Structure 1
Amino acid sequence: MSSRELVVLGTAGAVPTRHRNHNGYLLRWDGQGFLFDPGEGTQRQMAHAGVSATDVHWLCVTHFHGDHCLGVPGVVQRIARDKVRHPVQAVFPASGESYWRNLRHAAAFADTDVITEHPVTGDHAAIGPLTARRLSHPVESYGYRLQEPAGRRILPDRLAALGIRGPEVGELQRGGSVRGVTLAQCSVPRPGQSAAFIMDTRLCDAVFELAAGTDLLIIESTFLSGEAAFAKEYGHLTAHQAGLVAAEARTRHLVLTHFSERYGFADEPAFLDEVRQSYDGPVTLARDLMTVPVPKRRRHLTVP
């Protein structure tokens, strides 16, 4: 199976800094690349990270504030210039379709026909393997969740005990039974892996729904709690709130990002301290060009 990992291309909030580029996140997932919120400079960050246009299969925009979408023209034109042949699915809020059109056709270039558009409407939408939920921000914004379907893990010792071997194993997996032996007798449930991407928002039900049970949660933490009132006014989360979400959701790995320009690397311990008030799992404070693996799949150790 191909790797599942997050490649961080940018981690700044509204204003980039010397050390943080505007947003950009490529989630590699079984040979598919999900590029979320390409901000200004994303194409160059991709080059630094060793990411090419052919790695992009999904282009997902949460909302149309500049730090989340001004990299779209460069990415689209690079897809065209490099003659990417596979389909690229573009997902974005339908209310911002005029902004999408302007970004999609921001300059003269030899266009491509591989991009298929999926404008999102309503409080909840499903597009292929993605689920989108409307968040709480001054402009319409959506969070995204990537969910692998649940399956079953075959137990070789149980197969051997029941005399199932060779081609019969495949028949059992496809049909659910062979020679009176059922798949349930030879396997245990295997939960599907999941990742959620939650950018600019206040706390709301959709945040918790997107995050619930995730293996990897990438979430904004624009401010520390001292700016909680300011964060709420402008539709953002604090590090403390991100920790609360991760704890309630029982996420397995929390990634904080989208840091206000008022904070530097020296402030990272304060972000971690706020998260630790409620969440005790693995935490990554994202930095540009970092790679974060999706946690290994949960395994059942006992047979029901």
Structure 2
Amino acid sequence: MNGIDPAHAKTLSLQWAMTFAAVVEHGSFTRAADALGVSTARVSRQVGQLEALLGTPLLYRTTRRLNLTEAGQVYFAHCRNWSQWAGAAAQAVRELRDEVAGTVRMTVPTSFGSAFMAQALLAFRARYPQVSVELDLSREPRDLEADGFDLAIRSNLAAPERLVSRPLSLVRDWVVASPALLGDKAPQTPAELTDWPCLANQFFREATHWVFSRDELPYAVDIAPVMQSNNFDMLRNLALAGGGIARLPSYLAIADVEAGRLVRLLPDYRLPALPFYLVYPQRLPQPAKVRAVIDFLLEWFAQAPQRDRLPPAA
């Protein structure tokens, strides 16, 4: 294109390519012109200029239909990708606006999610009705980037360097049993647990080795479980039915203890705290919809009654 500034020529060729793609997608010059809001003559002229620039016909024109030449097929395949990229770029720009909308994908540990996320998501939905959250509950940590998740809640796991990790809460296990199992007796020290039927969570590596602390001194005991399961809800149900003494996260046991369905044992002996984190890929800038979920969850878990069930993380 002699006599035309190179930058302007690049802009024109891109415009012509988009016009050509519109003609192919709509099946005629007239319908493409209507979609683009320009005249049919202008559309025809731009396609002709593109063909002249490329030095080859892109379309076979007949009175009834348009057909792509071999060169036109190849060129249109690339134009179609450009259109998709432009759409993705426009979506990215929209996400940076103040409007919070779209879908956020999140993965959370099973028992933690079952205990908290229904209330959290309903409260979030009330504040941000244009955001849809897809929640995955899983025992195994997902690869956020490979599996397409925007954020996660994880426990006691060091996040990869490419991920941001924000302290969310601490979780302590309680040792509990049903009143029917205890009768008028109860273990007074960790060592006495060996005299009682106990339940273990086999998901954890040292499921039968319970280490307590009191006055900064450790008290370890190896229980001999009568039953094991890899699911906290199952262990809770066994404990409620009098099946044995269970070690449960406080957020799963507190309502039963307050209602008298379970008794908390050894309250003066503390089990180690398990930190929970809000984890998400580092993006600059972070999409508004993801920022909204992050800020909301950090705020929500710091409020009562969540704060009473989960002490804030250090």
TM over 0.5, shorter chain: no
Higher Cα Rg: structure 1 or 2?
2
Q: Please, what TM-score do these two structures have when normalized by structure 1? A: 0.21
Q: Please, what TM-score do these two structures have when normalized by structure 2? A: 0.21
Which one has the bigger helix percentage?
Answer: 2
